[in-house]
Amino acid sequence: MTAIDPVQLDQSTGEPENRLLQNIKDYTAMSFALLWQRQAIFLATTILTGFFFNPINALLFYGTILICEAQDLMLAKRVPRLRPDQHKAIAMMVTWILLNTILSSIAICLYTVSVAFSQPTGGHFTPLFFLFAAALFAAMNNHQFVWAMIVRLSLYGVSFMVIVVKDIWVERPGLSSDLWLQFFTVVFVMYFLIDCSLVFLKLYRRNLEQLEKLKEEHERTKAAYIAKSQFISTVSHELRTPLTSIKGSLDLINTGALGEIPEPMQNIIHLATKNSERLASLINDVLDIQKMEAGEMRYQEGKIDVHDLVREAISHNLGYVCAHNVEIVEDIRGNDKVYIRGDASRLLQVLANMISNAAKFSFDGGKVTVGCRTRGAKIRIFVKDQGIGIPKNCRDKVFDRFSQIDSSDERHAGGTGLGMHISKEIIEHFDGNIDYKSVLGKGTVFFIDLPILTAVSTGNKGRSRTLNFGATQQSSPPAAQAIANKTGIHPG
């Protein structure tokens, strides 16, 4: 988009056809938008002048205007389909627009002049006002296409002069006569209309220039974003290759396959293993964010047993939870197997984020409860802890990218700040919802609600079990309820 008239060539781009096409698109769009407003004005003019003057002439005028309006409507519908490379079609469209503008302007001018000529000398308030209204309407709404505005204002100006000069020519009054006052008033009105049209034209051009700058800036931003995305993707993949070798080597050392680790080296090896895992998690999170932004995130959807999903999530994260000296409790409620549709690996990733956060922000010896319960047509999967809790008004930070809640009571608060943001994107992809409830100093429960596919009765009783450092201990459902009563946070 630019802001020049159809024949002006911007030397910086050298694409006058594009600018001309944009001008006529804006012009016809405005013409279409004001269609009913113009019809109301023309109909009111026809009724008013038809009642006080010649009704036959009024009907002829309105019929001609309707033909012009119908032609304008057809042109307005054809213009959006034009392309910048269709030079002949654009030139033909400009010709048709100008011809139709000339026809409608002549119809308005001839009718107002005929009304003025049917009045006594000097009594031309009604036709002059109609001309003024038509010219002001053109100045305000035809500035997108300069030549159409010039045509209308020129023809209306000629009509103004014909009406007032005819009276002066017939009466030959002195300079102090009201007819000369009318003449000079018309000259002033014409100057006012031209000035108004220039103001609207400048505003239109300025807006288009600003839009063009915004468009160019947007294109530069897109290019920078693509370059950034490619850089992050390349660097992440390049980092993953040596990191895989480092982690593999550390795993071999930790398993004792290369011999017993000397005691002075154990802490160093443990630290290296822990940080390599953190780095791998960071790289995976960054790659996931990159895929989501680029719309390249791939999901392998299938039918998932929620009970099995919860147990698998507990099993996968048992070691991490135990490393933080925290127990993990399974709390599957209900007697029926519940199925959802989703990507099991991605949902396990979500649960891993929720469980790891619960473990990191729990106190020593605390409990993390992982379970599910049905809620109407949805299943709620929850992870509840007895940790430090989340302050109020932090919901945006929890699910924002690279954001963590700053609190002096936090312990083991390392992480990328991406986990919950990624989790939110994954859950919303499957038409679900993720949220949390928290009581500061008592704990937090994160939960996800997903649509249920089917529910098949299996006769299994709901149960709760405690897993601690690999050992399994049986406990009853009231134990989980006791935890909820203690913290004041209920997953449902």
Residue 463 has pLDDT above 50, yes or no: no
> How far, in Å, CA of 355 to CA of 372, rounded?
14
> How far, in Å, CA of 291 to CA of 130, rounded?
62
Better pLDDT: 396 or 112:
112
Residue type, 106: I
Residue 476 has pLDDT above 50, yes or no: no
* Closest to 185 (Cα-Cα) out of 140, 132, 118: 132
* 11-41 pLDDT, tens digit each: 333 355 577 888 888 888 888 888 888 888 8
What is the residue-averaged pLDDT of the chain? 79
* 184-214 pLDDT, tens digit each: 888 998 999 899 889 988 988 888 889 888 9
Better pLDDT: 404 or 99:
99
Dihedrals phi, psi of 354, to nearest 5 degrees: -65, -45
Here the tokens at position 424 are 């939110």
> How far, in Å, CA of 101 to CA of 201, rounded?
18
* Closest to 427 (Cα-Cα) out of 354, 371, 350, 375: 350
Give 174's contacts (C-beta < 8 A, 6+ positions apart): 180
Place of tokens 């939110």: 424
Q: State the average pLDDT over residues 80-102.
A: 88
Predicted confidence at residue 414, as pLDDT, reads 54
Better pLDDT: 11 or 462:
462
Dihedrals phi, psi of 124, to nearest 5 degrees: -115, 35
Residue 302 has pLDDT above 50, yes or no: yes
Sheet (strand 336-342) strand order: 302-305, 336-342, 455-457
Predicted confidence at residue 480, as pLDDT, reads 46
Give 272's contacts (C-beta < 8 A, 6+ positions apart): 246, 250
Q: State the average pLDDT over residues 423-452.
A: 89
Predicted confidence at residue 259, as pLDDT, reads 77
Predicted confidence at residue 472, as pLDDT, reads 36
Break the chain down into helix, strand, coil percent, rounded to 5: 65, 15, 25
Residue 367 three-state SS: strand
Secondary structure letter of residue 177 according to DSSP: S
Give 432's contacts (C-beta < 8 A, 6+ positions apart): 448, 449, 450, 451
Q: State the average pLDDT over residues 64-84.
A: 87
Residue 382 has pLDDT above 90, yes or no: yes
Predicted confidence at residue 411, as pLDDT, reads 42
pLDDT band at 462; cut points 50, 70, 90:
very low
Q: State the average pLDDT over residues 280-306.
A: 77
Predicted confidence at residue 406, as pLDDT, reads 52
Predicted confidence at residue 451, as pLDDT, reads 92
User: Which of 25-29, 245-249, 485-489 holds the top average pLDDT?
Assistant: 25-29
Return the CA Rg of the chain. 38
Predicted confidence at residue 294, as pLDDT, reads 67
**Alpha helices in 365-431, H assignment, sequence order:** 395-399, 419-429
Predicted confidence at residue 400, as pLDDT, reads 74
User: Among 52-66, 106-120, 289-303, 306-320, whose mean pLDDT is lowest?
Assistant: 289-303
User: Among 277-281, 331-335, 458-462, whose mean pLDDT is lowest?
Assistant: 458-462
> Does domain 302-487 correspond to CATH entry 3.30.565.10?
yes
Domain range summary for the chain, segments of one domain joined by +: 1-297, 302-487
Dihedrals phi, psi of 331, to nearest 5 degrees: -140, 80
Quote the distance between the C-alpha of residue 199 and its chain's center.
33
List beta partners, residue 114: none
